[in-house]
Amino acid sequence: MNSSDALLRELSPYFIPPEKTRARQRFGGFDAAKTTFRDAKVIVYGVPFEGTQTYHAGSHLGPWAIRDVTGNQLEPFVIDQGIDPYAAVGVFDIGDFKLRVYRNDRKLIYDVMHPSVRATKRQIEAAKARVNRAVEKLGSLERITEMLRNEGKVPLMLGGEHLVSLWPIRGVSRENPVVLHFDAHMDMKRQYLGVVYSHTTPMYHVIYGDKPVEGRDFVQIGIRQASPDEIGNAKEKGVNVFYSLKHTWRGIESQFSDEMIADVKTFVREITHGRRVYVTFDMDVLDCPYVPFSGTPEPFGITPLQAYKIFQSIDDGAEIIGMDFVETSSDGKSTIEGAVASHLILRMLCHPSLRR
């Protein structure tokens, strides 16, 4: 048996086939379905988990929204690149990670643990226990990532809340990657509302955990909300942070304006030169009009075009070893955010390292 076939057999118990997910089809639909697991460079999977969200719900619908758009609406040919990534790269969707979506956990985590709520000790402990059970299951994503990388595959995870990115990043940490983290938030709290593993803490564990990414190799792009502790953590570890707003001699300006985005692009090009790269993209890095169902919307965000320009600044000699697009949200009907995410994903798939 071919090693890829053996790997697919080993991975299958972890996943619900894409045809049995809410979308009822694969990422990329018919066009991507032409590629087998053995021949695919990029392996897509969804993690529709939303267990620690503390504001609006909807990110558990991200994998559905992206599959729906790529399968039904989006042309596979990226016109500005002149590339069909499904043909040039090869993409295979193995489905959704088997993890019950605890839709009531949002209420448990936020409404039970928030200081303004008079919850009993028993209620609080029950909520924490449910999160801990989910976290234990999510830990399998680290091993899954390692297995895919051992076979030379590039994992592409569709979230789900941003907590789920922790384990794939850990799964590639041995490869000493540069991590490009697009987000409105630092996600570097040590804990939040008494919960150590939540959507506000994954990057703390990435740089402080037992398989840390060095701060000098960690780049945060689009940050515009953070606590003093998070800023302190980033400084302590030497994390490279590009805030959305910047003080200049003209006053407050966007770091990503036409005049100033060149600094970001130059830095990204230099730090990724000849390096392995993991991209973790939280959709709330984008400005509010582009993410109308965001769980944590923040103004002063970047545009999809600006994100794409930064993607293009990743050095051509770099090797993309993993990606995730998380916090793509919906009200259950709209796929606006799914469309934005899908266009960005297809353009990320055009990177030269994925076509070599």
- Cα torsion for 284, 57, 15, 31, to the nearest 10°? -50
Interatomic CA distance for residues 191 and 199, integer angstroms: 10
Residue 175: predicted pLDDT:
98
The token pair at 142 is 């680290």
Residue 178 three-state SS: strand
Q: Measured at the alpha carbon of residue 103, what is the angle toward residues 208 and 190, in degrees to the nearest 5?
A: 15
Q: What is the pLDDT of residue 84?
A: 96
pLDDT score for 114:
63
pLDDT in tens, the chain (356 residues): 689 999 999 999 999 999 999 999 999 998 888 899 999 999 999 999 988 887 888 999 999 999 999 999 999 999 999 999 999 999 999 999 998 654 544 555 655 666 666 777 887 787 778 888 888 999 999 999 999 999 999 999 999 999 999 999 999 999 999 999 999 999 999 998 878 999 999 999 999 999 999 999 999 999 999 999 999 999 999 999 999 998 776 788 888 888 789 999 999 999 999 999 999 999 999 999 999 999 999 999 999 999 999 999 999 999 999 999 999 999 999 999 999 999 999 999 999 999 97
The pLDDT value given to residue 255 = 85
Name the token pair of 86: 């499904």
Scan for tokens 């042309």, then name that residue. Answer: 75
pLDDT for residue 249? 67
Confidence at residue 142, expressed as pLDDT on a 0 to 100 scale: 98
Residue 132's pLDDT is 83
Nearest to 277 by CA among 144, 169, 166, 158: 169
Find the distance separating the first CA and the last CA of the chain, reported in whole Å: 26
CATH topology of domain 3-355: Arginase; Chain A (3.40.800)
Q: What pLDDT does residue 193 have?
A: 80
pTM (2 d.p.): 0.95
Q: What is the DSSP letter of 212?
A: P
pLDDT at 85: 95
Residue-level pLDDT at 39: 96
